[in-house]
Chain A
Amino acid sequence: MSAALTATDRSSPTQHKGGEGSTGYNFAYLDEQTKRMIRRAVLKAIAIPGYQVPFASREMPMPYGWGTGGVQVTAAIIGPQDVLKVIDQGSDDTTNAVSIRKFFAKTAGVETTTKTADATIIQTRHRIPERTLTSDQVLVYQVPIPEPLRYLEPRETETRKLHALADYGLMHVKLYEDIARHGHIATTYAYPVEVAGRYVMDPSPTPKFDNPKMDDCAALQLFGAGREKRIYAVPPHTKVRSLDFEDHPFAVQTFDKPCALCGATGVYLDEVVLDDAGGRMFVCSDSDFCEERRADGHVGAMLALPSSSPARGEGVAAVPVTEGSGT
Chain B
Amino acid sequence: MYVAVKGGEAAIDNAHALLAHERRGPEDVAEIAPRQIETQLKLAVDRVMAEGSLYDPKLAALAIKQARGDLIEAIFLVRAYRTTLPRFGASEPLDTARMAIERRISATFKDLPGGQVLGPTFDYTHRLIDFLLEAGAELPLPAEVEAAHEATPRVTDLLDDEGLIERDVPDDMADVGDLTRAPLDFPADRDLRLQALARGDEGFLLALGYSTQRGYGRTHPFVGEIRFGAVTAEYVPEELGFAVPLGSVAVTECQMVNQFHGSADVPPQFTRGYGLVFGQSERKAMSMSLVDRALRTREFGEDVVAPAQDEEFVLSHCDNVQATGFVEHLKLPHYVDFQAELGLVRKMRAEHAARRQGTDSELKEAAE
Contacts and interface: CB of A to CB of B under 8 A. Distances in A.
Interface in B47-87: 76, 79-80, 82-84, 86
A157 B337 contact: no
A315 B5 contact: yes
Interface residues of B, number: 53
Given A54-B185, A229-B184, A315-B7, A126 B334 contact: yes
Interface in A277-327: 281, 283, 285, 302-307, 309-319, 321, 327
B183 A229 contact: yes
Given A65-B328, A126-B334, A317-B4, A189 B9 contact: no
Contacts of B157: none
A312 B336 contact: no
B332 interface: yes
A58 B344 CA distance: 38
Contacts, number: 188
A209 interface: yes
Contacts of B333: 88-89, 94-96, 314
Interface stretch (A77-85, A168-176, A194-202, A264-272): A264-272
Given A317-B6, A319-B6, A182 B348 contact: yes
A61 B325 CA distance: 11
Nearest to A64: B325
B350 to A, nearest CB: 12
A57 B183 CA distance: 7
A208 B340 CA distance: 8
A318 B312 contact: no
Indicate the size class of the contact surface on chain A.
Answer: 35 or more
Interface in A177-226: 182-184, 186, 188-190, 205-209
B348 A311 contact: no
A289 to B, nearest CB: 14
Nearest 6 Cβ contacts at the A-B interface: A65-B329, A64-B325, A318-B4, A188-B340, A304-B1, A311-B7
Interface of B: 1-12, 76, 79-80, 82-84, 86, 180-187, 312, 316, 321-322, 324-330, 332-337, 339-344, 347-348, 351
Given A64-B329, A95-B8, A310-B5, 9 more contacts: A63-B321, A144-B326, A157-B187, A183-B348, A184-B347, A189-B336, A205-B334, A229-B184, A274-B2
8 contacts: A56-B183, A63-B76, A65-B330, A89-B336, A125-B332, A188-B343, A227-B325, A253-B340
